[in-house]
Amino acid sequence: MNCSVISSLTPSRLSGESDRIQITDIRTEEHRVEESVKKTEAAIEAVLFSMGDAVELKDLSDVLQVDTKILQKILDDMMVQYEEEDRGIKIVKLENAYQLCTKNEYYDILSSLVNIPKKHSLTDSLMETLSIVAYKQPVTRQEIEAIRGVSCVHAINRLVEYNLITEVGRLDAVGRPILFGTTEDFLRCFGVSSMDELPSITPDKIERFRQEAMDEVNIKVEV
């Protein structure tokens, strides 16, 4: 063998070649991972857009064949990306589910094009009843009325009509009264992704609810 060829195959030369091969392999792997993430993001958009409603993380994981932890990281990154790019749509998290929807600031534009129901305004009595359901759920009408001190039939019916609360079961007691809980629309309406994000409520606030309800009744009686 030519001595010049032998001398060129020094340990340092071989090490340099090995490092370059490793760097190439790393870059190839990074590119593969990046392409895989992009395809997953596109698939997520397609599923959320076509479904319309919120989709559970587990269901997304089963459909896309992606681990839930990896999928959640991708979804969280997409939520940030949508906000940073100032798009007209966003991904919202509702408990363990995700939904693709339009941003609130474009409501007026959309309502002028399509027949979107008007936003409901909540009176003090509706807000108080809704607060009790949110913090005490699952809760019966009787329990709500015990806290407020007045009949809540009208308030409950209106909140059900607005799809802010719904029947979640029956209490295992005499008469099997209906149990009420909040809905995904409740989370969406108040801009929270889970019930854990709601501010804490104190006994003083509950007592204030009761007093305001009594004042409301007294005003109606006087009228």
Choosing from 73, 104, 135, the residue where a domain stops is: 104
| pTM of this structure | 0.53
d(CA 18, CA 183): 58
- 146 and 197 belong to one structural domain: yes
Domain extent, residue 167, equals 124-222
Q: What is the pLDDT of residue 221?
A: 39
Q: Are 93 and 79 in contact (CB under 8 A)?
A: yes
Residues 96 and 140 in one domain: no
pLDDT for 44 equals 92
Kindly state whether residues 89 and 134 are assigned to the same domain: no
Sheet holding 165-170, edge to edge: 139-140, 178-182, 165-170
Which of the residues in the chain have pLDDT under 50? 1-7, 9, 14, 217, 219-223
> Does residue 110 belong to any structural domain of this protein?
no
Q: What is the CATH number of the domain that holds 81?
A: 1.10.10.10
What's the per-residue H, E or C state across 122-169?
Answer: CCHHHHHHHHHHHHHCCEEHHHHHHHHCCCCHHHHHHHHHCCCEEEEE
Q: What is the pLDDT of residue 122?
A: 84
- Region for 191 from its dihedrals, namely left if φ exceeds 0, alpha if ψ lies in -120 to 50, beta otherwise: left
The answer to whether 185 and 126 are in contact (CB under 8 A) is no
5 assigned to some structural domain: no
Q: How far is CA 100 from CA 36, 41, 69, 82, in A?
A: 21, 12, 20, 11
164, part of any domain = yes
pLDDT of residue 5: 45
Region at 202 (left for phi over 0; alpha for psi -120 to 50; beta for the rest): beta
**CB-count burial class (<10 Å; 0-12, 13-18, 19+) for 138:** middle
Domain count, the chain: 2
What pairing do the DSSP bridges indicate for beta strands 97-102 and 89-94?
Answer: antiparallel
> What's residue 133's pLDDT?
92
For residue 123, what pLDDT is reported?
A: 85
| Closest residue by Cα to residue 148 from 202, 63, 208, 64 | 208
Q: Are residues 95 and 178 in the same domain?
A: no
158-174 pLDDT per residue, tens: 899 888 999 999 888 88
CB atoms closer than 10 angstroms to residue 89: 13
Q: Say if residue 71 is in the same domain as residue 136.
A: no
144 and 100 share one domain: no
